[in-house]
């Protein structure tokens, strides 16, 4: 059996915007893979640089663990690994190079490596995994163990393993695609014991006063949004059983005592029957914990929202994307603006916080479309907003439609970049300014709402309303951003 050191290339400090937000999570997909191969007899350890300043700690980990194999396994449940930010790519390649220099066989699994395998093979990786990785990785580790260090012999055997890319006998070989798991309960619970939980806890407590961990209940998304990357699961959707998820929540509560959970599914509770059963099992097991999740406006029926609240939903994020119906239709989003309004109404009736994902720059979006989005934000005043720019991710229809328009730059350096990467209606420099202006507008609107409420009923003053009023001070930048945006638009 192999001695395996798992690693990943996602460092919070390498993305200034995310570092400022300050909500790091352990690499969940990496932990699933480590648990699976360990259950088949391989010895596992983890180098987790999420909270490090750089990747230099891999040298210490290599010396301490003396692995036979390093597996650089990106967290596919983290949206920013799909975007393949260039700073994270550099971190991943640095780990590959250092492991290869030590003479260790390197296996890479991740979106960027699957899209651009030669970049990783050229820097020292022996194999790249594409598709769902756990079973492929285990079969490959078995082949390497049987070959007893003879990499050429191992590659001979690897030609029969589905889901691999590697160089052998002068050629880049791609084996047949791996079929997806349909019964996710065959996977053991993630290898949480490999994580330095107390380091994460200290960071969260210092930044936010509470501690959050991540859980996933599903893999995939059946909807057809043409800008959304689905490099592994396509339009499939497979769920763990409610009992399996509750077993993990119980284990996390008993072992690590999180105050909060982030369900990092693309969509939590697509099926009402699953969601209702989950809520019942959470209550029966007495593991109700505040949680945040992502879902769709058209799924937020009164029954589903009631189940989410019963299970512990504290904050729900919706992929609103745009306030212009024609843009939603062009995206093939499959929702209406009115459904967003109804979803917010239902969620707030249960005192669930609402977050919006919004993007600008899609297709031929014009100023009227931008204004429609701003109007919707002002009308509904979500509790939080994530603003981005439409991003051509490899494997999406949006990428295919725009690939011929892209220049040499094909990735963002970090999540502040906000470069459309393809020609849009407005110059590229407009979009970061637009994002800042809209954030400032939202702070102004929230503060004004809170101030009106206080003046109307002074006895109802709360810490939340005072905080919203205080936000108006930060919103003074709105006029500056507005004037700058108008100047940029005039120069267009």
Q: What's CA 246's distance to the chain center, in Å? A: 22
- pLDDT digit string, tens, across residues 211-222: 999 999 999 899
- What is the DSSP pairing of strand 127-129 with strand 105-109? parallel
Global model pTM greater than 0.75: yes
Contact by Cβ (8 Å): 29, 77: yes
- What is the residue whose two structure tokens read 């497979």? 238
Greater confidence, 397 or 444? 397
- pLDDT digit string, tens, across residues 46-72: 999 999 999 999 999 999 999 999 999
- pLDDT, position 36: 98
Q: What percent of the chain has pLDDT over 90?
A: 71
Which DSSP string do the residues of 379-423 spell out, in sequence order? HH--SEEEEEE----TTSHHHHHHGGG--S--S-SSTT----SS-
Closest by Cα among 366, 371, 372, 344 to 356: 344
- What is the residue whose two structure tokens read 């690499």? 27
Distance set, CA 460 to CA 271, 296, 348, 379, 380 (Å): 39, 33, 18, 23, 21
Average the pLDDT over 202-218 and give the result. Answer: 97
- pLDDT, position 181: 93
Domain 3-174 matching CATH 3.40.50.280: the answer reads: yes
SS3 436: helix
- pLDDT digit string, tens, across residues 326-384: 999 999 999 999 999 999 999 999 999 999 999 999 999 999 999 999 999 999 999 99
* 212-215: strand order across its sheet: 212-215, 260-263, 291-295, 313-321, 353-360, 384-389
Greater confidence, 53 or 451? 53
Is residue 60 exposed (0-12), middle (13-18) or buried (19+ Cβ within 10 Å)?
exposed
Residue 457 has pLDDT above 70, yes or no: no
Across the chain, mean pLDDT equals 91
- pLDDT digit string, tens, across residues 237-295: 999 999 999 999 999 999 999 999 999 999 998 999 999 999 999 999 999 999 999 99
- pLDDT, position 417: 81
The domain ranges of the chain are: 3-174, 184-398, 426-492
SS3 52: coil
SS3 219: strand
The class (CATH top level) of 184-398 is alpha beta
Contact by Cβ (8 Å): 317, 355: yes
């Amino acid at each position: 059996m192999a001695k395996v050191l798992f690693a990943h290339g996602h460092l919070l400090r390498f993305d200034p915007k995310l570092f400022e937000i300050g909500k790091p999570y352990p690499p969940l997909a990496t932990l699933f893979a480590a648990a699976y191969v360990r259950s088949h007899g391989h010895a596992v350890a983890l180098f987790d640089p999420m909270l490090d300043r750089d990747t230099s700690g891999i040298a210490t980990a290599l010396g301490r663990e003396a692995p036979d194999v390093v597996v650089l396994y990106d967290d596919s449940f983290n949206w920013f690994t799909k975007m393949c930010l260039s700073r994270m790519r550099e971190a991943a390649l640095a780990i590959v190079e250092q492991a290869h220099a030590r003479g260790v066989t390197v296996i890479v699994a991740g979106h960027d490596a699957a899209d651009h395998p030669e970049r990783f093979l050229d820097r020292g990786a022996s194999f790249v995994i594409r598709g769902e990785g756990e079973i492929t990785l285990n079969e490959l580790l078995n082949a390497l163990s049987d070959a007893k260090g003879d990499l050429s012999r191992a590659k001979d055997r690897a030609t029969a393993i589905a889901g691999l890319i590697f160089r052998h006998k002068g050629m880049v070989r791609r084996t047949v695609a791996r079929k997806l798991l349909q019964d996710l309960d065959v996977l053991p619970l993630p290898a949480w014991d490999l994580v330095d939980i107390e380091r994460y806890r200290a960071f969260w407590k210092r930044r936010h006063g509470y501690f959050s961990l991540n859980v996933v209940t599903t893999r995939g998304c059946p909807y057809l949004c043409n800008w959304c990357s689905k490099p592994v699961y396509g339009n499939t959707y497979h769920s763990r059983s409610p009992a399996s998820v509750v077993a993990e929540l119980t284990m996390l509560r008993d072992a690590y005592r999180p105050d909060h959970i982030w369900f990092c599914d693309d969509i939590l509770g697509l099926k009402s029957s699953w969601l209702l059963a989950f809520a019942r099992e959470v209550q029966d097991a007495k593991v109700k914990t505040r949680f945040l999740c992502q879902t769709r406006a058209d799924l937020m029926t009164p029954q589903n929202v009631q189940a989410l609240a019963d299970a512990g939903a504290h904050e729900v994020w919706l992929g609103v994307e745009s306030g212009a119906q024609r843009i939603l239709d062009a995206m093939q989003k499959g929702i209406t603006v009115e459904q967003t309004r109804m979803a917010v109404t239902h969620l707030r009736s249960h005192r669930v916080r609402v977050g919006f994902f919004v993007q600008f720059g899609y297709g031929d979006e014009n100023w009227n479309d931008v204004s429609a989005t701003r109007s919707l934000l002002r009308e509904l005043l979500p509790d939080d907003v994530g603003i981005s720019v439409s991003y051509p991710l490899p494997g999406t229809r949006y990428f295919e439609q725009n690939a011929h328009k892209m220049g040499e730059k094909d990735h963002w350096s970090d999540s502040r970049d906000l470069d459309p990467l393809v020609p849009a209606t407005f110059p590229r420099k407009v979009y970061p300014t637009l994002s800042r202006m809209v954030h400032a507008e939202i702070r102004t609107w929230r503060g004004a709402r809170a101030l009106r409420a206080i003046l109307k009923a002074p006895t109802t003053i709360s810490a939340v309303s005072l905080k919203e009023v205080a936000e108006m001070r930060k919103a003074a930048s709105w006029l500056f951003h507005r004037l700058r945006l108008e100047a940029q638009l005039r120069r267009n």
